[in-house]
Every structure is written in C-alpha cells, then in structure tokens.
Structure 1
Amino acid sequence: MNILIVRALVDRLYNPSDVSVVYCLLVNRMQFLREQSYQGHLQTVNITRATLCELVATRVLRRFDDDHPGREGLLLLANILVAGFEPFQNAPIEVLRENPSALQWPVQRRGGYERKLPALEVAIISESKTFLSSSACQKVVDAIYRGQVIYTPLSFVDILPDHYKHNPISLYNPRKAPLLNQYRLIVPRLRGMIEICQFAILLALYALTMVSREGLKITFYEVIFCAYATGWILEEFAAIIEHGWKVHTQNLWSFLDITFFVIYGTYFTTRMYALSSGQTYLGETALNILAIAAPVLLPRLAFNLMPDNMLFISLRAMMRDFSVLTLLAIWCFAGFFLSMKWLLDVSNHDGSRDGPDPATISKWMLWIWFGLDGTGIERSVDFHLVLGPSLMIAFAFLGNTLFLTILVSMLTNTFSKIVANATAEIHFRRAVLTFEGVKSDSIFAYRPPFNVVALLILLPLKLLLSPRWFHSVNVAMIRIHNSPILLLIGFYERHQLWRAPNGQPRGPSKRSKLFPWTFSGFSPHGDIQAVFETDPPEAILGKTVEVDLLTVRLEPVSQPQSMASGS
C-alpha cells in the first residue's frame, strides 16, 4: 500500500513551487469525513479516503522539510501551514458566478484576507492527529509557540478589530525589532504565561470575595472581583468567536470556562436584582450560587499548569461521552417518569390520599439510577399495586444495570484509545493551544478589567477616526498599558529566543562556566548526567570524524542490501 499508492501519490502531487497542496489534501479529508457521517453505504470507503488524504499530506510536508533545511526551510513550512488559502481561490469566473454565496459569509473586512483559512486550522477541526504529530508539523508549531515564526492570524470575528497592517509570515529577529513590540503579546508561550497569571488573580479574588462576604452588603473584594471577572469573561468570549466554537472546544478547559460563564452570569443577575429590590434572601442566594464555582475554578488552574497530562486529556473526552449518554438516558427514561405521574393522578383522582409530588418521584428515580437508595421501589405501590412495582423494577434494571454498564464500557474504551495514542493526543493539544494562542483581536492586548475600559473607549473612536489614526492610538495605548511586560519580553528574547541552533532539539543545556556548581553529586546516579556534560578530548573527536568518513564511503555498498531486506 505504501509503495503502490501512498508514495506514488506523493511523487505525483509534490511540487516545490506549490505550497497549497497540503491545504487541499486536508480540505478533501474534511469533506470525506463529512460525507461518511450521512452516507452509510460508503462509510468505510470515505474513512479510508480521509485517512489516505492525511497520510499523503503528512508525507508531502515531510518531503518539503527534507528538501529545504535550515531557517529558510522553516519559513517555507510556516507558509504551508499558517498561510491563508480559500477553497475558491483561482477558480474560474463562471464557477464564482454559479456560487455567489461563497463570497458573502465574511462578517468583517480585512483587506482581502476574509475567507482564508490556514492548513493548520483545517487539520485541527478535522482532527488530523497523525498529521499534527509529524516532526515537520511540530517543528512549525514549536517555532510559532516560541515566537520564532510570526504572522498575522486570520479570525472570523474580532470584537476590537485593528487590521490596518498585515504582517507577512517571517522569522522574528528580536535585535532588529523595537523594544516595545506589541505584537509579542500574541506569542502563544508568552500569552500562556500571562493567562495563567490572570487566572491566578481571578482565583485569588474569588477566594477573598467568598471569605469576606456579608450577605446583601457588597464588600470591596466583591466589587474588584466582579470588575475583574467581567473583563476575564470578555476575553474568553472573544477567544470563542475568533476562530469559532469548533476550534475552541478542542481546548481542554473549554467546558470549565462555559460552566463558569453560566454560574457567574446567574450570580451577577441575581445579585443585581437583589440590590435593586432590597431582598436580602436573594443576595444570599446569589452568593450561594457563586460558591458552586469553586469546583470549576480550582481544576481549571490545574488544567492550565499541566495541559499535557494524560489524565486531563482523557477527562475531557470522557466528559463528552458521559454528557451524551446522560442526555440520551434522560430522554429515554422520561417515559417512566410520565407513566408513574399519570398512574398517581389516576389513583388519586378522588383526592382521598396524598401521593408523592413530581420532585419526589424524580429524586427516587435518581437514587435508583445511582444505586443509592431503594425507597422508590418500596413506595412504588403508591402508584399502582401491580404496574407501579413493575415500572420501578424495569427502570432499575435498565438504568442501574444496563445503562451504567454501557457507560463504564464507553468510558473505558475512550480512555484506552487515548492512552494508546498518547503521543498523538499530546501533540494535537499542543497544536490547538498554539493556534489559539496567536490572537488577532486587539482586545487581548489589554489586561482585565482594562479591556472593558478599552472597549468602551476605542470602539466609538473606530467610527470617528481613519484606520491609520485608529491604529496609531491603539498601538500607543497598548504600549503604555503593557510597557513593563514588553520591556521584560524584549530583554529576555534578545538573548534567549534563537539561542539553540535552528532545527536542533531544545534539551537541557550544559552547565554554565560562570556557575560550575552542581548538586548531582548528592545522587547515586549523578555521574550518568555528568559524563554527558563533559567535553570529550580532541583525540576522541578525531576518531569520531574518521568513523563518520568510513561510514560515508561504505554507504553506497550497503544501501542495496538494506533496501532488499526492507522490501
């Protein structure tokens, strides 16, 4: 299969002057995956086609990497993965006339970059994990993550758009860049550090608010928390609409963010209504609603600090399966609830006795579902002498035995699949974090809660000023607001960004000559690390070169033999 199909397609499609073939292959994979969802008779065929497109795209990208080494090759790979393409690009005029709707979906104008999507985004939404875990793709992802490759990201909708300048894909040289470079705020690695600090501040303000709460009275910490949380939610909302819901939900902690949105929105609405009406119990209820955000915020910080942990990666996928099966179970078992409710209404039509209310019936069914209490089975005769116990026993058998067994089997299967492909899953999550970390919306350059103030000031100014003047005002405000952060970033990157040779792994470096001390001597295995940190003698290096030259001279003789054994 590899020789007759995959390699033949790679040889045919690979063109050093055409960087769009990888994008085209991934778009076709996405289409085949969509077709297999509703064409049942061709499901396996379409899955095979989609897999073949991913394999060919991976091989083509690897050949680009092999044929173009060095920094120029890194720049070429970046153009393949993050340059914008559109499906109707270079299409004939008659095709565009027949499909006028293809040119109408952009919400905001960006000077000709409205309908373009990069190949990296198509790979993420099609979950091309084999492609994203390839060495060539990871090289580009790592360079973008560290800020060595810079580009202007393409987004769907920006809350505070500023597209006066479109920076092409290029390699970043910190020594030639200005010291206060506002574009460094969209580097994924730096943004990740800033977002962790912002969330830590949000968590600290939340804890102070809950510790110092005083019923209906609003404390100082609560005011600060509400202002900061509003700005933080604005930033998260901008992240959702920038690349769409499908890309954002690939993030590990997206379901935690949505849960906090709902909790905070309910709390804030109830709290404001309690203040306007003067009802004390509603103010206490709002604080009680806010208290249930603790199980969401604390794990979210762990997700941020350990995004590559297999437990968290598995937990996200298992939560999705659990939610789907739970909704299906509620849908299926709603008939049991209606049957028992109507049986109770018939038996109590004369009002001679009081039966359980719908809330009590739901509680009994929930206890039986989790196997906690059998009161519902004991009281089932209140519905009907024969039909009541029959319905409860059938529900207990289907719910507690059958559905829970299916649930455990599904979660076990999901966990085993993820663990079996641990490397691909981790690389996929890194690609998602990197792609989402490069932001185009100017609102991300302002820290909460100042992003709310910037939105209230700059959005009306955008209607009054020209694009050039708006860009100048926006850049000036960003640099003033982030000047300490930009100075630290500038000083650090001038010495550390390109410190490792391009294309070499960034492993632990040897000990500095200025600080020769080491604590490895306190370990029984310290010599293992120390021997690799010691430079070999010149005589040994000379012998190594001689062995390498001998290997090169013997390679043409041994090559046919190895090819025969490989085939």
Structure 2
Amino acid sequence: MGVESVGSSPRSSFDLDENDPETALNPHADENDTAVPLFPLRRLDQDGNHVGSFPLAGSGNAMSVYVTMHRIRRLLVAAIDDTYTLDELRAPHMDRLLVRPLVDRLYNPGDPALVYCLVANRVQFLRPRSNEAFHKGINESRALLCELLATRLLRRFHEDHPGRPGLLLLANILVSGFDPCDTAPEPVRSRRPRWAIQERGGHERKLTALELAIISESKMLIKSPACQLVVDAVYKGVVVYTPLSFVDFLPDHYRYHPVSLYEPRRAALLNHRRLIVPQLRNIIELVHFAILLVLYMLTVAHYGFGGDMSGVRIYETLFNVFTLGWVLEQFAAVVEHGWEVHVQNLWSFLDVTFVVIYATYGLIRSVELLLADDPFYALPALCTAAPVLLTRIAFTLMPDNIVFIALHAMMRDFTRLTFIAIWCFAGFVMALLLLARTSGDLNVGVTWATITKWLLWIWFGLDGTGIERAADFHLILGPMLMITFAFLGNTLFLTILVAMLTNTFSKIISNEAAEIQFRRAVLTFQGVKSDAIFSYPPPFNMLALLILLPLKLVVGPAAFHHINVAAIRFINAPVLLLISLWERRQLWAKGSKTRRLKFWRYLKFPSLSPHRDIQAVFSAEPPPDVIDTLEKLDPLDELKAELELVGPHTPRDSTRQSSRRRETSDSSSHRRSDG
C-alpha cells in the first residue's frame, strides 16, 4: 500500500539512554533529537563497480547479494563434509576452529545483506533434491551452520551498533528486501520464473531475511535477542516500513516507505498506515472475526430454534455479505506471501476448514435458491462450522499458549498420516465391496457406505458388526480381511499415530520458548500488510475491489493513490481517530511516568544506600596505571594462548580418542597374552 510522507517520518527519538538496546523500543522522543540515518546498501553493477554507499564509519565495501550468496555456499561446502548436530557445532572446540573463524571472515559492518544470504543458503540446503539424497545429512548440517552463523552475525551487529541507530540497522537487516539476482549474469536471470510482476518502483522480486527465516523455520535465529528486538519493535509499530509481497489484489505502490522509526508527534491525525501495525491489526481482525461469529450464531440459532424464515433470511443475508468480505481478506493473505508462510500461522488450518465448509454451504444454497426458497440442506451444513469458529476464537485470544502451538504442529502430522491411512485402507473397502457383489448370502442393499461405516467402527473400537458379518462376504476371505484391517487400523496405525504425536509434542515442550517466539514472529510478519485491500474492513473490501480496481486502469498512479488514501481514511475515520488519541495518550502517560519516577528516586535518597560503594567501583573503567598493573599481573594474550592449548574437544573427538585408547589397551593385552 502506498505511503504518504506526511503521515510518518524516517526518524524517531527516545526518552531513555540510547546506548541501552532495550530502550530502543520506546517510541517516544525528545524534542531536540536528530534524525537517524537510513542504511542504503552498497552494490556492484555488472562491471564490478560500486554503486552507492553504506554510510557507516569504518565500514568495508559490501559485495552484491549474488556474489555473497555464492561466497557463503563455497565456504560452507568446503568447511562441512560430514554430518554434525547442532550441539556438536556449538561445542567449544568447533566454535574455536570453525564457527568463530567463519564469523570473523564474513562479518562486514557495511553489508546488512549477510544474514539474508546465510538464510537463503539455509533454504537451499534444506530444499529436497532427488539427485543429492546421499548428501542429505551433510546438507542439513550445512543448513544448521548457516543458521548458527546468521545468529552470531546478527548478535555482532547488535553489539557493535547499540541504541536507536542499532535498532534501525537490525530492522534493515531483517525486514528490508534484497534481490538475490542483483548482479547475476543474464543466463541466471533468464532462469527466473516468468510470472506477472507488479511494478514496485525497483523493489520487485525482493525477499526479506525474516521471511526466509520463517520459511526455513530458523527458530534459533528468530529467538535470538537481536531478532526479538526487531520483531517486538515491528509488532508495536515502532519500526515501520512498506512490506514486500508476492501479489496484491489492490496494489498501490505509488510511494515506498523505507524502514524507519515511527514518531507519534510528527504523525498525521488520521494516519492510515497504522492499520497495518501488527499489534493494532490483530485487534482489528479480532473484532472482524467477533462480528462474523455473532452473525453466524444469529443465523444458525434462529434456524435451529425454529424461528420464522423471514428472520433467517435477514440474518443469513447479513452473514453472507460479511463472510464474503472476510473470505476475500483471507484469500488475499494467502496470496500476499504464499502458502508456505501462511501455513505457519497458528490458526491457518481452522480458517481453511471454515472456508471449505462455507464454500460447501454456498454451493448447496445456490442450488436451493434455483430450485426452492427453503434452506433444507444448506443451513444444516453451515451448522457444522460451529466447532471450527469457537476453536478459532480461542486460538486468536491465546496465540502464545503452548498447547495451541503444539496442537497446530500435531494437526499437520495427524492430517498427513490420516491421508496415508485412508489411501491405503481404501483397498479394503474395494475388496469387501467386490466380495459382496459376488456373494449371494449378503444383502444386495449393502453398499460401500455401509462397509465404510463398519470399518470405521472397527477402527475406533466402537462396534464389531463388521466382524460378525464378515463371513457373509466370503467364508474365508471375509473374516481374513476384517481381522487384518482390525489389526492394522486399531493396533498398528493408532500406535504409530500416538508415537508420532507424542514425539512432536515432546519436541515442542522441550523448546517452548523458541516455539512461542517463532509464532510471534510469524504473527508479526503477516500483520504488516502490503495490499491496500486490508485497509478496508469487510464488506467494504469487496466494494473497493469492484470500484477502485477498474478505476486504477483509468487514472494515473498519483491520482489513484490519493483516491485510495481518502477512501481508507473516510471509511476508517473512527478507528484511526481512536488509534491516534491512544498513541498520544500513551505518549503523555510516558512523560508523566518519567517525571514520577524521577521524583520517587529523589525521595528514596539513593546516596544513603550501603551498596552504592559497590556500584561506584564498577561504574567506570579503572585508570591507565591500574590497567597497566593488571596487565603485568595477568597478561591476557598469554591467557588466551593457554586456553587454546588446553581447549576442550568435541564429543565426537572424545569418543574417537576413547575408542582409540580402548583399541590400544586391547592390542597391548593381546600382545602380553601372546607373549
């Protein structure tokens, strides 16, 4: 969606200490704060000449993304030629011999694309390839090393650039778009997919490091303090930017808003860009879903309690109009970043299930309207969506609940294994159906539905009718098929299913903090919307699509942008006014709280504390003569050399050394016995 320069500013200021990275999330500023510079990238053109610069003092020249990606891949292929676990890669010996030298070699304070290139290599290493099945374990080890290096580099960026400029740099590293083929030769560019690309003023075909981290499930990188600092800032709206998307239903890319820090004092009163702040966006979407749930309950409850059909038609019409707009919003969310990112959302499977139920209801209702006016079958089909909607509201209210996170992961395993089971056990239905047709003892009325019902009862251990009637299919083959199905379905399959779900749940519980932070990052990344269709609440988004999209073909980009912004502000005026007043209220409350804290600290007389002497000792560095004395007593260079000589080995090396010692002792004992 387009951005107006009036509504935001590429800088921000803060009340607290700028050297403290945690205070960078404070969106409230001093009046005399200076502008925070952005971080444009230094890039190479086709001839290898530098284009642009990266304004950091003492920074080196940054290579192109294409060259950096191949450089990283070349180093990792040469460094890893065996399978390693994450614990082995993080061992002190491997850290000293492999990880730390690679971090020192790759780190360049003038190149924010390093993390992106590492995560892109991780995605490539994890991509399944049939011709490299033998190297799957090695590629997974290289992918782990990519994530570990990206985490270390991001931490070094965080340590070297504290305060507000550091937060802005970290935000550029994680949420700025990078083109992997920026300086690629023409043969490489010709291999790119030839789908229709929407014009974005030079930002086409770009991806962010955070998006690649979500796709590759780089949970160690996402749970790092530096990444969580950026995620929290984006979630609260402190860091604002124009996101990149795959396809927009209602594109408005007239103005591009770079990554910057939001300043409420300089924002417009009706700032339409606050509608895509994840924290506010989640509240708005929760209200939309609550309206959908209320209309649904009015429709099905009025039908279920036997109300007059005129009332049902009124509620049903309102429900359909609002739900169509809500479904359009969900479909736009899938298209914006692709299915791989959308399925990482905690309640994505519930939304898909409801859309399928609603599509079934819509198809049946359309047929009924053509034949008759009474909803004989459509509304009963719609009633089956109640468990989905009520469960979805619980997921939305508690997105950080580890039980819901585990349920989301287990649903994928359950769906995959159930599909395989249905595919395999369909053969039993076909075999029994063919036996029923060839047997004269079985009633002709037995159909595939009856056989499926009997098999399901056997599967869940509810009834044994199928086993009792097995001899009617065939005296020998019928019982054999039924008993085989009971053994495979009720014993083997359920045992495998329970084992898989238990394993998945134990993995999630053992890494609970990382799972919660990963889901929060997914929710934050999906909350920043690029498509202008998300700024229109249902059902106004359908009107915007029907009116503004044809209008875009008639008017120019500037005129369309102004019309679109005016329509968004007019429709969302009450919401935007409440957001603006709330942010200014928070700003005033922050200033009052700071003054109260200063007054309270004055009343507490901190200088009378007996522990102030200890704090005073460590409040400043010792003088040079003391440092010289300490260096003579304990030279740090000699200490580092001693630590390198007696450094610990990896568990693999220790195992190999112990096995060699056992082999040596065994051979010596054999020699003594032979002698």
Same fold (TM over 0.5): yes
Contact 2:248–2:530 (8 Å) recurs in 1:
yes
Contact 1:125–1:246 (8 Å) recurs in 2:
yes
Residue in 1 that maps onto 2:77: none
State whether structure 2 residue 202 is matched by structure 1 residue 112: yes
Q: 1:371, CA displacement in angstroms?
A: 1.0
Report the Cα distance in structure 2 between the residues aligned to 1:221 and 1:215, rounded to whole angstroms: 11
Greater shift in the superposed pair: 546-555 or 215-224: 546-555
Q: 1:353, CA displacement in angstroms?
A: 5.0
Contact 2:181–2:189 (8 Å) recurs in 1:
no
SS at match of 1:264: helix
Report the Cα distance in structure 2 between the residues aligned to 1:559 and 1:417, rounded to whole angstroms: 45
SS at match of 2:264: coil
What does 1:25-104 correspond to in 2, within 5 Å?
Answer: 25-35=118-128, 39-91=132-184, 95-102=185-192, 104=194
Greater shift in the superposed pair: 202-211 or 35-44: 35-44
Report the Cα distance in structure 1 between the residues aligned to 2:477 and 2:571, rounded to whole angstroms: 70
Matched to 1:407, the amino acid is: L
Report the Cα distance in structure 2 between the residues aligned to 1:27 and 1:463, rounded to whole angstroms: 36
Residue in 1 that maps onto 2:415: 323
Matched to 1:390, the amino acid is: M
Residue in 2 that maps onto 1:334: 426
Inter-CA distance 352–119: structure 2 relative to 1 (3 Å threshold)? closer
After superposition, what is the alpha-carbon deviation per residue over 1:313-352, rounded to whole angstroms, capped at 9, x for unaligned? 000111110111111111111222221111122213xx98
Residue in 2 that maps onto 1:394: 484
Q: 1:284, CA displacement in angstroms?
A: 2.3
What does 1:360-439 correspond to in 2, within 5 Å?
Answer: 360-439=450-529
After superposition, what is the alpha-carbon deviation per residue over 1:257-297, rounded to whole angstroms, capped at 9, x for unaligned? 011111111112222321231163xx121010110110000
SS at match of 1:175: helix
After superposition, what is the alpha-carbon deviation per residue over 1:470-503, rounded to whole angstroms, capped at 9, x for unaligned? 00000011111111111121122235369879xx
Residue in 1 that maps onto 2:322: 228
SS at match of 1:157: coil
Residue in 1 that maps onto 2:18: none
User: Aligned to 1:195, which of 285, 306, 315?
Assistant: 285
SS at match of 2:110: coil
Identity of aligned residues (%): 58
Matched to 1:46, the amino acid is: N
Inter-CA distance 488–364: structure 2 relative to 1 (3 Å threshold)? same
Inter-CA distance 482–138: structure 2 relative to 1 (3 Å threshold)? same
Matched to 1:538, the amino acid is: S
State whether structure 2 residue 389 is matched by structure 1 residue 297: yes
Inter-CA distance 546–512: structure 2 relative to 1 (3 Å threshold)? closer
Report the Cα distance in structure 1 between the residues aligned to 2:427 and 2:571, rounded to whole angstroms: 58
Structure number with bigger Rg: 2
User: Aligned to 2:608, which of 526, 539, 549?
Assistant: 539
After superposition, what is the alpha-carbon deviation per residue over 1:81-117, rounded to whole angstroms, capped at 9, x for unaligned? 11111211122xxx22354132733432212211000
Greater shift in the superposed pair: 183-192 or 172-181: 172-181
Residue in 1 that maps onto 2:661: none
SS at match of 2:204: coil
Query: Runs of 5+ in structure 1 lacking a partner?
Result: 502-508, 517-530
Q: 1:545, CA displacement in angstroms?
A: 3.4
Q: 1:224, CA displacement in angstroms?
A: 1.3
Contact 1:148–1:497 (8 Å) recurs in 2:
no
Greater shift in the superposed pair: 331-340 or 531-540: 531-540
Inter-CA distance 427–393: structure 2 relative to 1 (3 Å threshold)? same
Inter-CA distance 438–18: structure 2 relative to 1 (3 Å threshold)? same
Matched to 1:270, the amino acid is: I
Residue in 2 that maps onto 1:136: 226
Greater shift in the superposed pair: 148-157 or 335-344: 335-344
Q: 1:233, CA displacement in angstroms?
A: 0.9
Greater shift in the superposed pair: 413-422 or 270-279: 270-279
Report the Cα distance in structure 2 between the residues aligned to 1:53 and 1:352, rounded to whole angstroms: 64
Contact 1:146–1:497 (8 Å) recurs in 2:
no
What does 1:173-252 correspond to in 2, within 5 Å?
Answer: 173-213=263-303, 214=307, 217=310, 218-252=312-346
* Count of aligned pairs: 538
Query: Runs of 5+ in structure 2 lacking a partner?
Result: 1-93, 648-675
Report the Cα distance in structure 1 between the residues aligned to 2:635 and 2:559, rounded to whole angstroms: 64
Matched to 1:237, the amino acid is: F
After superposition, what is the alpha-carbon deviation per residue over 1:349-375, rounded to whole angstroms, capped at 9, x for unaligned? xx9853622111100101111111111
State whether structure 2 residue 535 is matched by structure 1 residue 455: no
Residue in 1 that maps onto 2:352: 258
Residue in 2 that maps onto 1:526: none
Residue in 2 that maps onto 1:359: 449
Inter-CA distance 534–380: structure 2 relative to 1 (3 Å threshold)? farther
Residue in 2 that maps onto 1:548: 618
Report the Cα distance in structure 2 between the residues aligned to 1:166 and 1:550, rounded to whole angstroms: 45
Inter-CA distance 37–209: structure 2 relative to 1 (3 Å threshold)? farther
TM-score normalised over the length of structure 2: 0.75
Report the Cα distance in structure 1 between the residues aligned to 2:584 and 2:159, rounded to whole angstroms: 29
State whether structure 2 residue 112 is matched by structure 1 residue 22: no
After superposition, what is the alpha-carbon deviation per residue over 1:367-414, rounded to whole angstroms, capped at 9, x for unaligned? 111111111011100111111111101110111000100000000000
Inter-CA distance 365–476: structure 2 relative to 1 (3 Å threshold)? same
SS at match of 1:219: helix
TM-score normalised over the length of structure 1: 0.89
Inter-CA distance 197–353: structure 2 relative to 1 (3 Å threshold)? closer
Matched to 2:269, the amino acid is: L
Residue in 2 that maps onto 1:276: 370
Report the Cα distance in structure 2 between the residues aligned to 1:72 and 1:511, rounded to whole angstroms: 23
Contact 2:436–2:442 (8 Å) recurs in 1:
no
Report the Cα distance in structure 1 between the residues aligned to 2:164 and 2:208, rounded to whole angstroms: 21
Report the Cα distance in structure 2 between the residues aligned to 1:559 and 1:219, rounded to whole angstroms: 86
Inter-CA distance 379–431: structure 2 relative to 1 (3 Å threshold)? same
SS at match of 1:200: helix
State whether structure 2 residue 515 is matched by structure 1 residue 446: no
Report the Cα distance in structure 2 between the residues aligned to 1:289 and 1:98, rounded to whole angstroms: 51
